[in-house]
Chains A and B, each alone.
Chain A
Amino acid sequence: MNNRVVVTGIGTVSAFGNTFCDFWTGLAEGRSAIRAMKLVPPGSVRFPNGGEVPDFHASSYFDEKEAMMLDRFAQFASVAAREAVQSSGIEFIPELGERTAIILGSSGGGKTTEDEGFHSLYALSQPRVSPLTIARAMSNAGASRISFEYGITGPVYTISTACSSANHAIGQAFRMVRSGEVEVAITGGSEAPFTLGFLKAWEAMRVVSPDTCRPFSRDRRGLILGEGAGILILEPMDRALARGASILGEVAGFGMSSDAFHITQPSPVGAARAMRAALADASIHAEAVGYVNAHGTGTTANDSTETEAIRSVFGEHTEKLLVSSTKSMHGHALGAAGALEAAATIGALRAGIIPPTANFNEPDPACDLDVVPNLPRAAEVQWALSNSFAFGGLNAVLVFRKWLEP
């Protein structure tokens, strides 16, 4: 028999700061944390703004040797995991470590480390790069770091599906806990894309906004990159209740699909199939859903395509649906996006407050949804979806349920 899967710990590192409290408070107030970038020289790329993690000092969390071994993206993963594990109250004794999985998403892995290596090679004409380059840059470095900290000796791996990485990771972890394959899962994603070489690649794609991220707004001009990590602790409901844990929410379903269509253009058909698959996995009707945390990147193509997909899945119920993109406040954290947005969605269900789509100026007929513009809205919602759609046409959708004390 399948377990019901609950969330008993959340940790985030984001543009709002280094805790889930910072993150949720910012979203619930509808504040945008998008600011001028400081991690690359001003004027070095065409877009000036990003959702950088402000004031992140590795020395506050790691000794010098540890910090040296970890790229920024792995440091984020570790810091968010510590907060999540602490809030769950779980103590990982060796027997439990063996029955625990860590599944994280990351799109780029250690981009900062790679860029530093290439810089020393090509710009400084150094004949060699740091021997730590491979160990720091590999995309599984964050998951591995967490395994060392807690002695997690079960399945540990990283999923890399661009902007859907974290949703694929959380979905996989959810299914392993639901089936009983593992007892506990540490899951989510982390990303640190603010490095000149990688930003130049985004600049060349011409999808980054020159000012800010305005999802679903007629005058939207593209996405704004973000960074950070989101980590959730998942365990069976019965286990959490038995140990008297504080339950924050429930993961109720997961659906995925591939467009098999175009490497960068989104497809409403594939996105809709993933949403339908997630609803079917949760055994609920579309009418039960009150809130969708949209992929909502703020690009012309995504937002109109996602609107079409949502309308095709929800039909007349779309008129009652609240849809918002929190990327308008924390930026698009790529392989961490789904994890931060899972934390946002659980926060919304718990608090009965829907975080808004910030920076919204004017409705677009091609995005005719209630996008909760600019101001947070009080709403008691039982079921919510969180969408992630990746370049490469890979779609992953999670279903969350508000936790009600039995």
Chain B
Amino acid sequence: MSEELIARVTGVIAKTQKIPPESVTIDKTFEELKIDSLDGINILFALEGEFDVDIPDEAARAIRTVREMTEGIEKLLAAKAEAQSQA
């Protein structure tokens, strides 16, 4: 994961949760950040906008940490890049 990707994901989470950016680090769990189920879908919505990707419900359901979220976005971006290169 690139530092830039981590910074963008943590930035979106901080902005959506209205918490200081420095409080969102890669090893934090959603529980530690007091992100409940409704906050979670709000973050997914913001990330979809930030990265122009569709995050499937099934994949999103299992995510519990900032790291898992960032890894998920990385995979979706890779899939998107591959789809674009084939197009």
Binding site for B on A (CB under 8 A): 46, 204-206, 210, 221-222, 262-265, 301
Q: Chain A contacts of B60 at CB under 8 A?
A: 206
Asked if B36 lies at the interface with its beta carbon under 8 angstroms from chain A, I say: yes
Contacts beyond the supplied A204-B41, A204-B45: 6 A-B pairs with Cβ under 8 Å = A205-B41, A206-B57, A206-B60, A264-B37, A265-B36, A301-B37
For B54, give the chain A residue with the smallest CB separation. Answer: A46
**Per a CB cutoff under 8 Å, which of B38, B44, B45 touches A264?**
B38
Q: Bound complex: CA of A222 vs CA of B57, how far in Å?
A: 10
List the A residue with the shortest CB-CB distance to B41.
Answer: A206
Within 8 A of A (CB), among B22-80: 36-38, 41, 44-45, 57, 60
User: How far is the CB of A199 from the nearest CB of chain B, in Å?
Assistant: 15
CB distance from B38 to the nearest CB of A (A): 5
Residues of A within 8 A of B36 (CB): 262, 265
Q: Once bound together, how far apart are the Cα atoms of A275 and B44, in whole Å? A: 35
Question: Shortest beta-carbon distance, A182 to chain B, in Å?
Answer: 40
* Cα separation A206 to B41 with both chains bound (whole Å): 7
A-B contact pairs, 12 of them (CB 8 A): A46-B57, A205-B41, A206-B41, A206-B44, A206-B60, A210-B57, A222-B57, A262-B36, A262-B38, A263-B38, A264-B38, A301-B37
Contact size range, B: under 10
Using Cβ atoms and an 8 Å threshold, which residues of chain B touch A301? 37
Which chain A positions have C-beta within 8 A of B38?
262-265
Q: What is the CA–CA distance of A215 and B38 in the complex, to the nearest angstrom? A: 21
Residue of A nearest to B45 (CB): A204
Q: How far is the CA of A206 from the CA of B57 in the complex (A)?
A: 6
> Closest residue to B48 on the A side, CB-wise?
A204
Which 6 A/B pairs are nearest by Cβ-Cβ distance? A264-B38, A206-B57, A206-B41, A204-B45, A205-B41, A265-B37
Q: B50 to nearest A CB, angstroms? A: 15
Cβ–Cβ < 8 Å partners of A221 in chain B: 57
Chain A contacts of B45 at CB under 8 A? Answer: 204
A208 CB, min distance to chain B CBs, angstroms: 9
Expressed in whole angstroms, the Cα–Cα distance for A301 and B37 within the complex equals 10
Q: How far is the CB of B46 from chain A (nearest CB, A)?
A: 11
Chain B residues contacting A210 (CB-CB under 8 Å) are: 57
Rounded to whole Å, the gap between the CB of A260 and the closest CB of chain B is 16
* Cα of A262 to Cα of B39 in the assembled complex, Å: 12
Please measure, in the bound complex, the distance between the C-alpha atom of A204 and the C-alpha atom of B57, giving whole angstroms: 10
Identify the interface centre among A46, A206, A265, A301: most chain B CB within 10 Å of its CB. A206
Chain A contacts for B37, CB-based, 8 A:
264-265, 301
Task: Give chain A nearest CB distance to B42 CB in angstroms.
Answer: 9
User: For residue B57, which residue of chain A has the nearest CB?
Assistant: A206
User: Which chain A residue lies CB-closest to B44?
Assistant: A206
Q: Inside 8 A of A46's CB, which chain B residues have their CB? A: 57
Question: What residues of A have a CB within 8 angstroms of the CB of B44 in the complex?
Answer: 206
Distance between B30 CB and nearest chain A CB, rounded to angstroms: 14
Among B41, B44, B57, B60, the most chain A Cβ lie within 10 Å of the Cβ of B57
